[in-house]
Amino acid sequence: MSRIENIFYDVVIQDTRYIMTKDKYNWVWVYGDKDAPLENIIKSSTASFYTSIESMFVNLLEKRFRNHVVEFTPKNFKKALRMAFTEVRQLGDALDKVNWDVLGRGDYCPTCNSKIKNNR
């Protein structure tokens, strides 16, 4: 499984390009300059690896929230939380449209960890 072939989410926010992809065992969240070639962003050292989708969503919500907080006032706090939640929800909506076979963990079922037969 190539990370470039398995891009599920690709968005530019301000001057940064955010990409969510998957390799054989991990969910990978990568970001880089919006003008950089895709290959350079995927191979960059700014990648975060997650073994479960739950841990990825929790961590991304926290990272996106920290990115949006400019000062600690109640108004800015609520705005940053709303923006972070919206971005993570958009990522979830994008993943919801992908079929299960692509999201499977290699050749094994992520639920029962048994070998998948006939790609199902």
pLDDT tens digits in sequence order for the chain, 120 residues long: 577 777 888 888 888 888 888 888 888 889 888 888 888 888 877 888 988 888 888 998 998 899 888 888 889 999 999 999 998 898 888 877 775 555 554 555 555 656 556 554
Contacts of 11 (CB under 8 A, 6+ apart): 17, 18, 90
Among 118, 98, 8, 20, residue whose Cα is nearest residue 60: 20
- pTM of the model as a whole: 0.66
Residues 21, 2 contacting (CB under 8 angstroms): no
Other C-beta atoms closer than 10 Å to the C-beta of 27 total 23
Q: Where in the chain are the domains? A: 7-103
